[in-house]
Chain A
Amino acid sequence: MNRSIVTVILLIGLFYSLIVVAAGVSTWRYPDEQQGYSPEQPIAYSHRLHAGELGMDCKFCHFNSLESRHAGIPSTDVCMKCHKFVTSSYEVLKEELDLADKEKRKPKTIISDKLKKLYASLDLVDPKTPNPDAKLKSIEWIRVHNLPDFVCFDHSAHVTAGVACQKCHGPVESMEQVRQFESLSMGWCVKCHQESTENGINGKAVHAVRDCAVCHH
């Protein structure tokens, strides 16, 4: 009798662990292997729209990549350069403008749900009215490209050398939600360093060192 109770308990445990495994297998990776990682972001920012359709340069927003080791997610005020005026999608804005024209009134500011989150970061209700007492809050983006702690990667060195952003980040301009395109493994890095040294980058000779301490220090 006792034995069967224990066995039942054990089977229940087995059942639960199977569920855990099943759930785990979907995201199962070797440690630190992140290729294809594409987490949902707090604001569904579309690189396809901005970088692809609108043709904005990567470095317009990620200007930090020119000067610093981090490319950096742009601060909210960078977004506000445009989104002070662009408060919703073109269709919605156009509809409101037409309607306002028809009704002979000033158009209302229509703010899309996505952009409300952006304005919340600066504590703004209306994007055109500055709020001097604003409680600034960072947008909690989820980091996609994350190298291990023992690797030091400097964006500015690569951007200065003429390496295209897509070389490492893949066709971001076609991604609705950013995902890690390449494996970002050491072999992958070294391969590029070797090829660049042999062939140059865009016809420019470069010396991409392959010493360990270039990245590991």
Chain B
Amino acid sequence: MINEANKPESLHHANESGPPMDNAIIPEKDLFQLNRRRFLEAAGFTFSAVALSGCTRPDPELALPFAELPEGIRPGQKLTYASSCVDFPSGCGLLVSVRDGRPLKMEGMPEHPLSKGGLNAVAQALPLGLYDSHRLKNPLRLGKKSEWKDVDEAILKTLSSVKDSGDAVRVVTPTVTGPTLKEAIDTFLKQFKDGSHITLDTVSHSAILDAHEKTHGARVLPHYLLSGAKVIVSFGADFLGTWISPVEFTADWRTNRVPIEDDPQMSYHAHFEGRVSLTGGKADRRYRLAPDEFGTVLNHLYAMLSEKAGKKVETAKLRKSPIAEADLTSLAERLWDARGESILLCDSQDVAVQVVVNAINHLLDNYGKTLDITKPSLQAQGNDREVLKLIDELKAGKIAALFVAGTDLTHNLPEHGKLAEAISKVRLVVSLNERNDDFSSIAHFVCPDHHLLESWLDAEPVSGLVSLSQPLLQPLGNTRSILESFALWSGNKSSAYEILRTSWEKNILPRSKSKSFRKFWDQSVHDGFIEASSVAPKVSEFKTEAVALSPQAKPDEYCLSLYTKVGLTDSRHAHNPWLQELPDPITKVTWDNYVSLSPTTAEKLGVSDGDVVSVEAGGSNVELPALVQRGQHDRVISIALAYGVKGTDRFAKIGPQWLESRLTVAEGELVGKNAAPLISTANGSLSLTRDDVAIAKTDKRHELAKTQEYHSMELPKNIAPYGGEYRDVVESTTLAAYKDDPEAGMHEKHFDTSVQLWPDDHPKKGHQWGMSIDLNVCTGCSACVVACQSENNVPVVGKDEVYRQREMHWMRIDRYIDGEDDDIQVSHQPMMCQHCDNAPCETVCPVLATTHSSEGLNEQVYNRCVGTRYCANNCPYKVRRFNWFNYSHEDSLVNLALNPDVTVRARGVMEKCSMCVQRIEEGKIDAKRRGVELTDGDIQTACQQSCPAKAITFGDMNDSKSEIHTTLDNPRKYGVLEEFNFRQGVSYLRVVRNREEGDSGEGGHSNHDAHKHSEVTPSNSNNIVNLDEKRTSETGGKHV
């Protein structure tokens, strides 16, 4: 500021003499007289000159053609290769789309006999795992970068001394289904006098195999055929989410879950569990039962069924069943009526309990029908006794060489410290893991394996189904296939491709009907899998004498239940930010694991969400934030495994870094905490449930970033119009009601939707894209969420941004909980842009950045958007996402996972589901190129393709032959908030639960009068209640 007192000299000068400065011809004498104004003039000119000189072309961009075009490659064209997901024992069929040498998107293989075109979230996230600069690029020797030559030399030298001394060599892997890798490991181990291969799974199913050894004389895992099951009873087995082969089970389960108007039949699914799993929530009847009481209830169930079979079983000594007898009797009746068409599943790690399960399945005549043990599943081969023996041997110093591949041994087993110390006594410790994980960091040598998408491997998930995995790009680092490593250490210097071919020619070809190997091989690589004859151990007849009902121990105050999340089935995937940010389908928490407690228990302990509690069991202690979970058993404390993985501190700064940003991972911490120290090793098994557990509140807090405390679609009571207090966003009904009236459960319409505000001047000719989602079969598995993220370049925003309600997922899955604690029913609703014909967002955009296409799509034009966010405010579904930042990637390698067909959005623009318009355009162009008409199914959206339950239908609503067209007439069809007359392109099919009207006291919405209650409270069971409704009001202030 210039005031009179300190007016600069020159200013006086200017005022006093001559014309104003602006037009002055500066006297020569003054030219070098610098004053403030002149300085600013000159500086301003300089700055604008520099700025203008920047207004030029960017640096020239190079266009690099191939020197020699590889055969079959067309630059810019997508190619699809068949492969299989051998990283997981479930072995789903993969179709990998590769563009310009980059694998970009995982798709399910529709022809695959197991996965039938579906994939899970973890498989969808594979590309991000591939383009991860934190994967090891070189072999390590004592933690330092080394050369393969030196590493091999040193390993072989030690191995030859081990060979001479005849000491023990152990190879530890998770379940290996591939015959070639198995053979390679066996060949390697045969060199030693005492060599064995030990299978360690994160979630072990060892007890099922052990029970079959007792009852059927062979250690096999049955191949569960859920498609034939009319009655499914599960004790803790989360078969739609994480248990053994969820994609396959979901596809099979779906076949009996779609009621048709003419023949309204559905399978009946009862579920007993302590924590709330995805499968439990989908069940027709979910019973709260702590896992330590499975045995008791199963014993009673067995007794009831035996009685029906004409054999009395003594039940006097058994503990009283915690489940009401009437419920059990009716369940037994249902099972008995569906003999040969029912199935009983159980995830208990107690062999005695599993023997009872086998006995029941035998009584029900399910073996050979819904359980196949002649062509058994090979998807879980873990043997806990061997693992425990290995731990003992390690502690006793009996092991000379330890090789670990595909599992983080020290992370996944309890007693971390002691184990690490025991391993330090081993002469040769070699890790073949991809990363410098917990085990690799104490190994003498790390010989990193290729990523799945870089390697030749095979798999045999079910006896008789052999599939291949082929490399889709050159390895990004100086890594080596596990096949090559073991072959080299066995004296065979072949490449993985040669090893695989030789093994297939020798072992697989004779099992097939083919004669010529070349043809057979080419066909196998093309198809990705072959069906061969089965080689399986002989099973005997059911041994009744093996069954003995043993009274179960009295349960303790608490029961710990460890599990894996749908998104993080294994600690190996903890480095994948897509999976870390994927909300858990039930709790909706991202970026953390936590201790789930029932509301009653939480109240008893005086904790609420985010209060850190300390859980102590077997001398180990884990401190984690609490999460109050409705429907959880009061005695059950559940914690997710596969967290607290070494190296996940890398995600500390994953989100945008700005003035108020907070770290995703606090200084010196990891994402979540490792709960493996709480695994029980009692009774000769690695049990994920245990009773000897103590829990205490601490005074710390750790905020959890959840995605469903907001986005509530319900109106506050004080402003709700009459009848509109509760929007039936998820409609549901019961099978009994559906039989009477297929439109049962329809929400009463309060407004007339025939009136149009706009003149009807937009003829709907040509294609009209529409989507329909069957909520009855949607399990909430979240594969679609990650598929969408992968397809549409959706960024990861980090925990803090999720906490600020700014996650960017185009597709979210809303979870609604209905019913009382003892009988909750969970509905999942995939929610994304509804592509309304009367879109509220379109009318408020001041720059026409969001418009309606002639094909019924609501388009978002990023380059036109100026970021007013009016559209998001006016969207009743809250599906629009705003780019608050440029979400940069950690490093440039991750950029290779970007889909070149989809614009990477810049800061300040709105984005949302486009219904995969890039796929629609591609499909249309492809049809044009081939000179054919577009047919239904040519275009599939990313979410639709990935869905294991085939819940999503997409197509041209104007095409009378399309599936979506027929769906429009489905009596279960409804639109969310239909009465506002948005005329959405996305519709939903109502949930139908196989319940009688009577026992669904808290059932769905068959009761139309429910809406006329003058006061509806969240606890009113006549309505689906947003779980977090109550909490939102409590914490509302914080989440602004």
Contact = CB atoms under 8 A, between A and B. Distances in A.
Q: Size class of B's contact patch?
A: 35 or more
Interface stretch (B65-73, B207-215, B424-432): B65-73
A64 B49 contact: no
Interface stretch (B777-785, B884-892, B917-925): B917-925
A135 B780 CA distance: 51
Nearest to A140: B62
Interface stretch (B30-38, B116-124, B303-311): B30-38
Interface string A197-217: 000000000010101111011
B258 to A, nearest CB: 32
Interface string A30-62: 110010010100000000000000000000000
B32 A74 contact: no
B76 interface: yes
B52 A21 contact: yes
Given A14-B42, A64-B74, A78 B69 contact: yes
Contact of A8 (B32, B46, B60, B855): B32
A75 to B, nearest CB: 4
A3 interface: yes
A141 interface: yes
Given A72-B65, A76-B65, A29 B57 contact: yes
Nearest to A137: B67
B46 A14 contact: yes
A157 interface: yes
A138 B921 CA distance: 31
Contact of B62 (A18, A76, A143): A143
A136 B70 CA distance: 12
A126 interface: no
Contacts of A29: 55-57
A64 B75 contact: yes
Contacts of A75: 65-69
A3 B34 contact: yes
A64 B65 CA distance: 11
A136 B68 contact: yes
Contacts of A217: 901-903, 914, 917-918, 921
Contacts of A161: 928
Interface in A158-193: 160-161
A136 B516 CA distance: 36
B15 interface: no
Contacts of B284: none
Given A17-B50, A154-B925, A77 B61 contact: no
B63 interface: yes
A66 B191 CA distance: 57
B851 A212 contact: yes
A143 B63 contact: yes
Nearest to A31: B55
A141 B62 CA distance: 6
A82 interface: no
Given A146-B61, A148-B863, A217-B901, A121 B925 contact: no
A211 B33 CA distance: 61
Contacts of A157: 925, 928-929
A139 interface: yes
B523 interface: no
B57 A211 contact: no
B42 A10 contact: yes
Contacts of A17: 45-46, 49-50, 53
A67 interface: yes
A152 interface: yes
Interface string B902-940: 111000000000100110010001001100000000000
Nearest to B851: A212
Q: Label chain B's interface by main secondary structure.
A: loop
A3 B55 contact: no
Given A75-B69, A143-B60, A217-B918, A68 B75 contact: yes
A88 interface: no
Contacts of A73: 63, 65
B925 A211 contact: no
B859 A212 contact: yes
A84 interface: no
B785 to A, nearest CB: 20
B492 interface: no
A24 interface: yes
Residue of B69, B76, B917 with most chain A CB atoms under a 10 A cut-off? B76
B192 interface: no
A74 B67 CA distance: 9
Nearest to A215: B921
B854 interface: yes
A109 interface: no
A196 B401 CA distance: 73
Contacts of B56: 24, 27-29
A35 B854 CA distance: 31
Residue of B31, B57, B862, B928 with most chain A CB atoms under a 10 A cut-off? B57
Contacts of B68: 75-77, 122, 136
Interface string B58-98: 00111111111100001111000000000000000000000
Given A24-B53, A73-B63, A209 B46 contact: no
Contacts of B66: 75-77, 136, 138
A140 B60 CA distance: 11
B857 interface: yes
B853 interface: yes
B57 A27 contact: yes
A205 to B, nearest CB: 13
Contact of B49 (A18, A34, A37, A39): A18
Given A78-B69, A156-B929, A212-B851, A72 B32 contact: no
A213 B928 contact: no
A94 interface: no
Given A20-B53, A68-B74, A121 B901 contact: no
Contact of B921 (A64, A142, A152): A152
Contact of A20 (B33, B49, B854): B49
14 contacts: A14-B42, A28-B55, A67-B77, A67-B929, A70-B76, A76-B65, A77-B67, A122-B67, A141-B63, A207-B766, A209-B855, A211-B857, A212-B859, A216-B861
Interface of B: 31-34, 39, 42-43, 45-46, 49-50, 52-57, 60-69, 74-77, 766, 851, 853-855, 857, 859, 861-864, 901-904, 914, 917-918, 921, 925, 928-929
Given A29-B56, A161-B928, A216-B863, 11 more contacts: A7-B31, A23-B53, A24-B56, A29-B57, A66-B929, A72-B75, A122-B68, A142-B63, A149-B903, A216-B903, A217-B917
Nearest 3 CB-CB pairs, A to B?
Answer: A24-B53, A136-B67, A211-B853
